[in-house]
Amino acid sequence: MRKTIVTVMSGICLMPLLTACGTQDDTVKSADIFAMDTYMNLKAYGRDAEAAVAEAEARIYELEQTFSVTNDASDIGQINHAGGQPVTVSDDTVSVLQTAMQMNSESNGALCISLYPVLRAWGFTTGEYRIPAKNEIAELLQSSDDTKITVSGQTVQCPEETEIDLGAVAKGYTGDAVMKIMQEHKISSAIINLGGNVQTLGSKPDGSAWTVGVTDPFAPDTLLGTVSVTDKAVITSGNYERYFTGDNGQKYWHILDPKTGCPADNGLVSVTVIGGCGAECDALSTALFVEGTERAIQHWQNSGDFEMILVTAGGELLMTESIAANYTAKKEMPCRVVHSNEEP
């Protein structure tokens, strides 16, 4: 059963992580919902805020059904059970697949949506956690190759043994879809939190920037710092989000390295990406985490259309030059600003 809590308020201050006080338009609409296996909050300011939030909520539930990997009737369910045959899908699925496949190419395979069978073997999709044997992982990796997925018009085809999961892109795409609805309702000030994926429209009603918290990966109940943004998505991937501890005392997290089929352990514990497109930021946060520090910096230098905050396993904070001026530290730790013309 879906649970929705809706409130209409004036002059509201959002709780920590999303801080916004003061408004020139006293119409505020807020909704707390549960979808895509996470809690979400939508907040819009303006005369048409109520209609905008209601339509956005319906759109989230629609996309949840479209992208669900556990629903055999969803686009993804049909692709995964098609036995290698072509499947006709929605425009939404085509768009997300194109973003994922482009990121797979740009990151040299670091983002891989066909790792679903490997994730399942680890128990990250079922909650029945286990450490798969090396030969089991090796066998499953043989069918995990995004380059063998074909998209032609609205038709998608995967090899018979390949199964995909859009979890690394879907929430970001959903954030973009929500913001499109807000704009259609002429909302100029809005902020949403889709299970940690934060996206903003415009600035706060008083004209100042939104303040978004960045979680401390070493103490997830606290903040590492905050960033001030306008019209941006702020999306983080970290090893603290979903993990289990094995009998050997080792921590295993859900972000897998497609080359090994094991948790990506390339020197980073948290990656926050700030940019204008939620889907791209979502895909990037996973890809950069897998790439590791040096390749992530190179990726940013080659692209230049996003900003990032990296936290290394050794406790160092790295941030790109443009976001540094908008970052406020909440925790003392070694920090270095990365420049576009430097060697990684």
- The reply to whether 112 and 258 lie within a common domain is no
Predicted TM-score of the model (pTM): 0.91
Residue 165 lies in a domain: no
**Full domain range(s) for residue 334:** 209-344
Same domain, 231 and 296: yes
Q: Are residues 105 and 11 in the same domain?
A: no
Residues 264 and 198 placed together within one structural domain of the fold: no
Please indicate, yes or no, if residue 164 is contained in any of the structural domains.
Answer: no
Q: Are residues 124 and 251 in the same domain?
A: no
* Residue closest to 42 by CA, chosen among 2, 11, 1, 6: 6
Looking at residue 23, its pLDDT comes to 42
- Residues 302 and 220 reside in one and the same domain: yes
CATH number of the domain where residue 329 is located? 3.10.520.10
Same structural domain, 104 and 21: no
What pLDDT is recorded for position 10?
Answer: 28
Confidence of residue 26 (pLDDT cuts 50, 70, 90): low
Tell me, what's the pLDDT at 119? 97
Cα separation of 28 and 15, whole Å? 15
Is 250 within a domain? yes
Over the stretch 219-276, which tens digit does the pLDDT of each residue have? 999 999 999 999 999 999 999 999 999 999 999 999 999 999 999 999 999 999 999 9
- Residue 152 DSSP SS3: strand
SS3 labels along 291-309: HCHHHHHHHHHHHCCCEEE
Contact 194, 180 (CB under 8 A): no
| Mean confidence (pLDDT) of the chain | 92
**pLDDT attached to residue 344:** 56
